[in-house]
């Protein structure tokens, strides 16, 4: 195959820059390690240094963190049922993503961190694991990784692919390189037609891109019966309860202000609070204790007490069942320009949902939920507070939102079946 001289030049410049920046990755890991101790561990994987020799080929799936791992779970589970002979290697970037992989599949799959996108690390990673198929979730577009798969004949599918207008604009300097890397991909399975259109604008060929829908609709919610029974053994079913989920550091004061307003109207109210990142667990607990509120945590007391005003969910993997324990959910990442978090999970668990205005990572889902009457989007914390108070006091309005959300989730399913049909012919032949 004749090499594209422009690709060679662009790859060379990109790789040279990454090599120059590589020492900074050590400082980044140290800095993150002071916030999350897990970042001090397993550095060898970040640079694709593995102690043992490579084993038999695998299907490799990359999911950057918890949300992408959850979106990938229906695909992995379905394929593991169909083809139990396949060896799976799943990569993440964050420790919380790693923990979620182990919570879902234990030692049944191999897991390492994805190495940095420098040619040496990418080459060692691909040579070590020898994937016969690569499945990449959502928006992870690493040029050297994609070129490395092409050069080794590894077909790549970008599943549940999303690309916001904001992200497309962010790629403007790297578009010549990323566009060429995208054209090496076998298929981009986009969440929506708008996402598909943006991938074409970024450089993918139209025939490479298909809009298959959003895999998040196909996540099967856990049965909340056991959680609800245990929860209501400590908290009366009629008690006013709301949940603040996936909140970020800059939103924490807003949540405190919201709960202060709720307590003025409902003195017995209980807030369930699940910060997005584990490093915020202790700081959120300290912040609410500083308010003089009575606090319990999932890791210590396990359940709220009769007089608990704030219950901090400081564990991983339990958020969805806790949604079912609340009458209203506020989903964070939306009062700042973070882009929001998964709005379908509370809807699937039968909870009315409120969010702030910054939803560029979930633009299609938020639009559909809002149009269906399953989501309230408000412009700032004051408006969120007004809507929260309204819904906590209006059971029929909550019921309408819950019914609309359940219908939307049910009607939105199907991406999983289409995705399995797409990648099925590329699975390795049985041994």
CA distances from 337 to 268, 303, 341, 359, 380 (A): 33, 33, 12, 8, 12
371: number of Cβ within 10 Å: 11
Integer Cα distance of 275 and 277 in angstroms: 6
Respond yes or no: is residue 68 known to be catalytic.
yes
Q: Residues 68, 251, 285, 387: which is the catalytic one?
A: 68
Characterize 376-409 residue by residue with b for buried, 16 or more Cβ atoms within 10 angstroms of its Cβ, and e for exposed.
bbbeebeebbebbbebbeeeebbeebbebbeebb
Integer Cα distance of 58 and 83 in angstroms: 12
Q: Are 259 and 267 contacting, i.e. CB atoms less than 8 angstroms apart?
A: no
Integer Cα distance of 392 and 291 in angstroms: 22
CA angle, 229 then 241 then 258, to 5°: 155
Integer Cα distance of 121 and 112 in angstroms: 13
SS3 state at 301:
coil
Integer Cα distance of 431 and 424 in angstroms: 16
Integer Cα distance of 123 and 255 in angstroms: 46
Q: Are 89 and 111 contacting, i.e. CB atoms less than 8 angstroms apart?
A: yes
Catalytic residues: 68
């Amino acid at each position: 195959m004749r090499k594209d001289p422009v690709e060679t030049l662009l790859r060379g410049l990109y790789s040279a820059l990454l090599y120059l920046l590589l020492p900074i990755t050590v400082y980044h890991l140290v800095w993150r390690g002071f916030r999350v101790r897990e970042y001090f561990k397993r550095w060898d994987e970040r640079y694709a240094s593995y102690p043992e020799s490579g084993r038999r080929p695998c299907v490799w799936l990359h999911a950057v963190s918890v949300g992408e791992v959850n979106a990938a779970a229906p695909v992995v589970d379905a394929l593991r049922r169909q083809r139990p002979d396949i060896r799976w290697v799943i990569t993440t970037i964050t420790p919380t993503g790693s923990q979620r992989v182990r919570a879902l599949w234990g030692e049944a799959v191999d897991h390492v961190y994805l190495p940095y996108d420098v040619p040496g690390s990418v080459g060692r990673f691909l040579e070590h694991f020898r994937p016969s198929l690569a499945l990449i979730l959502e928006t992870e577009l690493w040029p050297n990784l994609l070129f490395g798969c092409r050069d080794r004949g590894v077909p790549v599918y970008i599943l549940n692919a999303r690309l916001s207008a904001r992200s497309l604009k962010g790629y403007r300097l790297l578009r010549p390189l990323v566009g060429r890397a995208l054209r090496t991909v076998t298929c981009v399975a986009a969440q929506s037609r708008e996402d598909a259109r943006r991938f074409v604008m970024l450089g993918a060929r139209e025939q490479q891109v298909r809009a298959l829908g959003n895999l998040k609709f196909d996540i099967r919610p856990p049965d909340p019966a056991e959680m609800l029974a245990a929860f209501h053994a400590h908290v009366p079913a009629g008690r006013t309860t709301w949940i603040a989920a996936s909140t970020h550091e800059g939103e924490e004061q807003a949540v405190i202000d919201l709960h202060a307003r709720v307590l003025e109207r409902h003195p017995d109210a209980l807030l369930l609070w699940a910060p997005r990142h584990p490093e915020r667990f202790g700081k959120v607990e300290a912040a609410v204790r500083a308010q003089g509120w009575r606090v319990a945590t999932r890791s210590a007391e396990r359940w709220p007490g009769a007089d608990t005003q704030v219950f901090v969910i400081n564990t991983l993997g339990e958020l969805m069942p806790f949604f079912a324990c609340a009458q209203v959910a506020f989903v964070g990442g939306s009062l700042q320009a973070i882009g929001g978090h998964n709005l379908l999970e509370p809807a699937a668990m039968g909870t009315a949902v409120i969010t702030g205005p910054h939803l560029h990572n979930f633009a299609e889902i938020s639009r559909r939920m809002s149009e269906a009457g399953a989501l309230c989007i408000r412009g700032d914390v004051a408006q969120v507070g007004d809507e929260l108070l309204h819904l906590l006091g209006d059971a029929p309005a909550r019921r309408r939102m819950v019914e609309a959300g359940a219908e939307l989730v049910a009607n939105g399913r199907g991406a999983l079946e289409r995705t399995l049909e797409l990648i099925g012919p590329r699975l390795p032949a049985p041994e």
